[in-house]
Amino acid sequence: MPIYKSICPYDCPTTCGLLVESDGTRITKVKGDPDDPICSGLICRKMQRYEKSIHSTDRILTPLKRTGQKGEGKFEPISWDEAVETITGKWKQSLDEYGPDSILPFYYSGVMSLIQRNCGDALFNKMGSCQLIKTLCSSAKGAGYQSVLGGTGGLDPRELVDSDMYIVWGSNMKATRLQSMPDLLKGRKQGKRVVLIESFAGEMAQYADQVVLVKPGTDGALALGMMHVLVKEGLEDSEFLQNEAIGYAEFKDTLDEYSPEWAESVCGVSAQLIVELAREYAAAKAPAIILGSGNSRYGNGGMTVRLITILSTFSGAWQHPGGGLCGCNPGMRECIDSTRITRPDLRERVGRKVNINQLAMALKGEEGQIPIRCLHIYGSNPVGSVSNQLGIEQGLADPDLFTVVHERFMTDTARYADIILPATFSVEQSDCYSAYGYCSFGAAYKIIPAAGECKSNWDIFCLLAKGMGYTDSHFQRSEDDLVAELLDNPMAGLQDITSKQREILKTGGMISLPYADHTSWKTPSGKIEIINNTLKDPVPHYQECHGGPYPLRLIAVPSSETLNSVFLEREELVQSRGAMFLEIHPDDAEARSIADGDSIVAYNDLGEVAFTARVTPLIAKGAVAAAGIFMRRQSGNGNLVNTLHHERLSDMGEATTLNDNTVEVRI
Ligand SMILES: Nc1nc2c(c(=O)[nH]1)N[C@H]1C(S)=C(S)[C@@H](COP(=O)(O)OP(=O)(O)OC[C@H]3O[C@@H](n4cnc5c(=O)[nH]c(N)nc54)[C@H](O)[C@@H]3O)O[C@H]1N2
Ligand SMILES: Nc1nc2c(c(=O)[nH]1)N[C@H]1C(S)=C(S)[C@@H](COP(=O)(O)OP(=O)(O)OC[C@H]3O[C@@H](n4cnc5c(=O)[nH]c(N)nc54)[C@H](O)[C@@H]3O)O[C@H]1N2
Ligand code: SF4
Ligand SMILES: [Mo]
């Protein structure tokens, strides 16, 4: 059976290369590509049976029109002609009656390949519609890091082989950074220490020499406490900081107030442990902090990441191979010109800005504001993934709202659509891929024809553009033409690649790109910016998260079995993930007479969610954690964890604060 190169399209830092076996109409087998420069053939369990998803009998195969109530999930098949006519008819009417700000495009990370993810922008730019601020994931992390190191590339995980100590700071690497686990395990065998700083250490505790449990949203206090110790004991690399950083002297003076005892009172980690951790960190020559995104999803998330980034410079670790910070911005140079996909030049007016985390608020609208009349969702399942589930459902149920969803499966969001358009899988389309966690880039081409009447996002937007009467040549090309154009007009990141690598991109596969230079500071000043005068708070300091009035801090973490709403069609993965669990510390459980396995309810001012209690000492006291996104039908009362999430934003990056909510729990 012929074997083709392909690439994993999902929202995961690795963007693994795949070998896909196909008879020309069906995919029969999928495995990791051993020649892939990143994963070397190691892929997660989810993608090892990718063909089960592609050929699932639950797939939506034709355009559908709603026949029941919104949310009920009753639809009937219609032709593409009818679908396009209905949608463009509604858009034209809305443009005439209310103007372009009544139309909201909504997408996020269902598909991460570059054309299929971003191609709707060109059409909505042409239309002049609302503009979505896409900050559902880790924008606070990016903003915090950049405020100190600008565009300086962080460590590529492949550089971790040279580190001599690992601080895994809020990352469930086994679930979300699988390809770095072998290096971590090997390093540990060689005697390199692994310290895990977590609010919920469930899956990673077994791989760490030391587990430090921190109260959610307080890592900034821990970082400040450690820097206090470094300075007090003269363990910081003051020569490096004086030469390479701006504001070191001024910041150093402020550290006096952040004693380990103060830090203990904020983050719950004992002062003694903070002192030991700081000494251990300073004693290592090339320690790597492997930073997840969890602790950035707070009202103080930008500041937290800023402080951790500053800590990473304090012992001069960046000067040594393997030392520094991993998890932020490894590939620093653009590979392709994304404006060839998004076409900002087609936009003639600035549209109303809508933050993705505030969908419920936008649909509700305000007095005097133009109402959102048309919502176009693709590559996203906001009912499960965006804050304030009940508010979003209320908005989607509005009879005056016309909703289109491009989907592969009947998600809880698709159930509210007026029209559903059937979407393709990665093997049924062509595209370019850029890994966000590594220095790598790839291209993969269509292997099998689309199932049923499914179409790629690109093809759908071209059809809709035609239906709108837009004659721009952009909308008349195939996605293969666009892939070729992008590769023929490379940006700086691809300019030095070899002819062999160029050939790989033309035929399909991932290529490795050079690591960043970690000591050439790509900041406006050319230095590490400990003090940054462009910020509201030039001098970094401790900042509280949003918090709330309820006694337990709720965090919503990724599940290792699924990936956000992707793979919910896979019975074997859903089964092994199990019920909707809420992890709770034994002391907090006992105080509420909760036993392991009890049915419990978590609640706050936004609503109530039914969970099964899992009592574990691996979660910080005063915290509860819910892993994974579920379907409404899998939940005891139809409510998912994001029912309990407010729509508040982070301090930097206008990002989600989905970990920054409080609840009470009862039997
Ligand atoms: N299997 C799987 N893989 C995935 C995903 C998935 O859902 N499943 N999601 C994908 C996506 S979209 C992304 S963005 C990445 C996810 O990337 P991350 O968000 O980095 O996810 P995790 O690796 O689970 O790390 C987050 C960790 O932060 C911890 N945490 C939460 N709050 C705090 C805090 O205040 N302090 C500290 N120290 N820790 C805290 C949580 O307990 C959790 O273990 O992974 C991607 N890969
Ligand atoms: N409770 C909780 N909430 C979370 C998270 C969490 O861990 N827990 N994680 C947060 C994070 S980090 C992120 S990034 C967001 C992700 O949130 P979203 O971007 O909403 O991602 P998903 O929930 O996975 O929904 C993606 C949908 O896209 C569809 N899809 C996949 N490929 C294609 C395609 O080619 N075309 C089209 N049209 N559709 C496609 C999939 O079937 C899926 O239903 O969720 C956030 N919300
Ligand atoms: S989900 Fe992540 S680990 Fe799994 S194959 Fe895709 S990129 Fe690799
Ligand atoms: Mo994400």
From the CA of 564, give the closest atom in ligand 1.
Answer: 7
- For a mutational test of ligand 1's pocket, the pick from 48, 273, 293, i.e. the residue with the most ligand atoms closer than 8 A to its C-beta, is 293
- Sketch out the chain's domains with CATH numbers: 3-54 (2.20.25.90), 64-135+334-499 (3.40.50.740), 155-327+517-529 (3.40.228.10), 552-666 (2.40.40.20)
CA of 10 to the centre of ligand 3 (A): 7
Query: How high is the pLDDT of residue 332?
Result: 76
CB 589 within 8 A of CB 623: no
CA of 52 to the centre of ligand 3 (A): 15
Helix or strand holding residue 433 (H, E): strand 431-434
Query: How high is the pLDDT of residue 279?
Result: 98
pLDDT (tens digit per residue) in 30-76: 999 999 999 999 999 999 999 999 999 999 999 999 999 999 999 99
Label residue 331 by pLDDT band (50, 70, 90).
Answer: confident
Tell me which residue has its CA closest to atom 18 in ligand 2.
Answer: 380
Alpha helices in 287-446 (DSSP H): 301-314, 339-342, 359-364, 382-385, 389-396
CB 103 within 8 A of CB 94: yes
- Enter the DSSP assignment of 161: G
Nearest of 629, 595, 202, 51 to residue 381 by alpha carbon: 629
Q: For ligand 2, which residues put their CB under 6 angstroms from it?
A: 11, 108-111, 116, 136-137, 378-382, 384-385, 406-409, 411, 423, 457, 556-558, 564-566, 629, 641-642, 658
Average the pLDDT over 610-629 and give the result: 98
Query: How high is the pLDDT of residue 393?
Result: 98
CA of 7 to the centre of ligand 3 (A): 9
Query: How high is the pLDDT of residue 9?
Result: 98
pLDDT (tens digit per residue) in 283-329: 999 999 999 999 999 999 999 999 999 999 999 999 999 999 999 99
Rounded Cα distance, 144 and 397, in Å: 37
Nearest of 1, 28, 38, 6 to residue 438 by alpha carbon: 38
**φ and ψ of 208, to 5 deg:** -115, 150
Residue 600 has pLDDT above 80, yes or no: yes
Tell me which residue has its CA closest to atom 3 in ligand 3.
Answer: 44
CB 625 within 8 A of CB 583: yes
Label residue 333 by pLDDT band (50, 70, 90).
Answer: confident
Rounded Cα distance, 106 and 199, in Å: 31
**pTM as predicted:** 0.98
- For a mutational test of ligand 2's pocket, the pick from 11, 46, 380, i.e. the residue with the most ligand atoms closer than 8 A to its C-beta, is 380
Tell me which residue has its CA closest to atom 5 in ligand 1.
Answer: 563
Nearest of 610, 522, 453, 484 to residue 150 by alpha carbon: 522
Rounded Cα distance, 459 and 115, in Å: 11
- For a mutational test of ligand 3's pocket, the pick from 5, 7, 16, 562, i.e. the residue with the most ligand atoms closer than 8 A to its C-beta, is 16
**Paired tokens of 398:** 């509005």
Label residue 653 by pLDDT band (50, 70, 90).
Answer: very high
Residue 431 has pLDDT above 80, yes or no: yes
Mean per-residue pLDDT over the chain, rounded: 97
- % of the chain surpassing 70 pLDDT: 100
Query: How high is the pLDDT of residue 516?
Result: 95
Nearest of 318, 325, 321 to residue 527 by alpha carbon: 318
Query: C-alpha 309: how far from its chain's center?
Result: 19
Rounded Cα distance, 611 and 101, in Å: 39
Residue type, 233: E
CB 287 within 8 A of CB 167: yes
Average the pLDDT over 633-651 and give the result: 96
Rounded Cα distance, 247 and 119, in Å: 42
Average the pLDDT over 136-162 and give the result: 98
- Please enumerate in sequence order all residues whose Cβ is within 8 A of that of 298, keeping only pairs 6 or more positions apart, or say none: 140, 216, 217, 304, 545, 546, 650, 657, 659, 660
CB atoms within 10 A of CB 599: 12
CA of 438 to the centre of ligand 2 (A): 21
Residue 219 has pLDDT above 90, yes or no: yes
